[in-house]
Amino acid sequence: MAGETDPERLTRAFAALREAGITARENFTCCRSCGESEIGGEGGSDPAASSTSTPSARIPPRPVTG
């Protein structure tokens, strides 16, 4: 989309995750630690979705170039 900013793209991505039934929140808590402890209350009742491992822990960081 022409003229779409990165924050707008992120908001759209979170909306798509929500529509797909995936628990993900944008601007959810103050930090990752608080987010991980609170996100469990946000998800559905799918036992397969409950895990102590978070997606962000499995995705390697993007290398910094410059």
pLDDT digits (tens, 9 = 90+) for 3-49: 899 999 999 999 999 999 998 888 888 988 888 888 877 766 554 55
For residue 56, the model assigns a pLDDT of: 47
What is the average pLDDT across 61-65? Answer: 62
Q: Is residue 34 situated within a structural domain?
A: yes
In a domain, 26, yes or no: yes
Report yes or no on 18 lying in a domain.
yes
Measured distance CA(36)–CA(52) in Å, rounded: 9
Q: What total of structural domains would you count in the chain?
A: 1
Task: Tell me if 54 is assigned to some domain.
Answer: no
Q: Quick check: is 49 in a domain?
A: no
Q: For 47, which DSSP code?
A: G
Report residue 11 CA to chain centroid gap: 10
Spatial distance between the Cα atoms of 39 and 25, rounded to a whole number of angstroms: 8
Within a domain: residue 46? no
Residue 66 belongs to some domain of the structure:
no
The reply to whether 28 falls in a domain is: yes
What are the φ/ψ torsions at residue 38 (nearest 5 degrees)? -95, -20
Q: Look up the domain containing 34 and give its range.
A: 8-39
CA-to-CA distance for 45 and 58, rounded, in angstroms?
A: 23
pTM above 0.95, yes or no: no
